[in-house]
Amino acid sequence: MEESRLCQWTVIRSVLAILQWWGFNVTVIIMNKWIFQKMDFKFPLTVSSIHFICSAIGAYTVIKVLKLKPLIVVDPEDRWRRIFPMSFVFCINIVLGNVSLRYIPVSFMQTIKSFTPATTVILQWLVWSKHFDLRIWASLIPIVGGILLTSITELSFNTFGFCAALFGCLATSTKTILAESLLHGYKFDSINTVYYMAPFATMILALPALLLEGSGVVAWLQTDPPLLSSFFIIFGSGVLAFCLNFSIFYVIHSTTAVTFNVAGNLKVAVAVTCSWLIFRNPISMMNAVGCAITLVGCTFYGYVRHMLSQQTPGTPRTPRTPRKSMEFVPLVNDKLEDKV
């Protein structure tokens, strides 16, 4: 009886964690799009800087003040030699995501973001000569095909926004590869990742944001917008962006890899639906079909990765990497590829 209740509670906790993750993720995306489109605050560097500042403060509060998570100590030398390069790529990833949101609809941006598994596999194959099971390559076919179909039939296609979203996928994949190669020995969770990376990202982005967008922000303020509500929305999106990272950590520890992968793809569908209901961007039938094909491919990719991870190491069909002089330990779990 107690086991049954415990199982029910585990399921309920997992469902609540996923719903919380969906809520934060979709809200952040919608708020960012609202900032760029409805508020006419077309300054993605400034928005990204505010997000990093809020995330740095939030991570410090969780670890140092509330002590909800133990701090993973990193040597000062390693912070600059290892974490700083990753922070630079992390910064580029967030900025490109916000830039793409300014120019293309949420539905198109989220579909392109689903291309990340493909770019990760391709980069690992090119950079490390890492070999993958044929089923991994097969799972990339619907992902690539769905994105091509979506791009061709996108009614609100914008070349700059498309390129920003696509290079954002490359930045996410590069961050994953750098994590494995630069941070062996440090097993970070999402909160410690934000704790170390957000301050570096703020430092990297603050000056370019000031030089490139400072005058534009001042001009926008002189148009007499509703400052109180605008302030609340812009900084509120930054606070929610940090909460999203915290919710990702909670979901990972409450669900399995397969559940996380499926929930992530369903989250894309929820974000696309919510954005269409709010912004009413035109979506053709073939565009919706392409998005669906991409999500099915991502789900199949996650399933194949999970099945291969259950095989005993050294079997012929297990992905293999040429051995190095030291073992590589990822900075974050493979399931953390969906961070905002």
Task: Convert the pLDDT of each residue in 69-103 to its tens digit.
Answer: 899 888 888 888 888 988 898 889 889 988 998 89
Nearest of 172, 179, 116, 106 to residue 143 by alpha carbon? 116
Nearest of 331, 338, 249, 255 to residue 69 by alpha carbon? 249
Is residue 200 very low, low, confident or very high in pLDDT (cuts 50, 70, 90)? very high
Helix/strand/coil percentages in the chain, nearest 5:
75, 0, 25
Q: Supply the pLDDT for residue 240.
A: 92
Mean pLDDT over each residue of the chain, to the nearest integer: 81
Q: Supply the pLDDT for residue 324.
A: 46
Q: Is 184 helix (H, G, I), strand (E, B) or coil?
A: coil
Q: Read off the pLDDT of residues 290-331 as tens digits, 9 standing for 90 and up.
A: 888 888 888 888 888 878 877 755 544 444 444 444 333 333
Q: Specify the residue for token string 């990702």.
A: 248
Q: Which comes out higher in pLDDT, residue 108 or 265? A: 108
CA–CA dist 271, 110 (Å, integer): 8
Beta bridge mates, 131: 320
Q: What percent of the chain has pLDDT over 70?
A: 83
262 pLDDT higher than 80: no
Q: Decide if 132 contacts 53 (C-beta within 8 A).
A: no
Nearest of 93, 45, 36 to residue 281 by alpha carbon? 36
178 pLDDT higher than 60: yes
Q: Read off the pLDDT of residues 26-62 as tens digits, 9 standing for 90 and up.
A: 899 899 999 998 899 999 999 999 999 999 999 999 9
Q: Read off the pLDDT of residues 106-149 as tens digits, 9 standing for 90 and up.
A: 888 888 888 888 888 888 888 777 888 888 898 889 988 988 88
254 pLDDT higher than 80: no
225 pLDDT higher than 60: yes
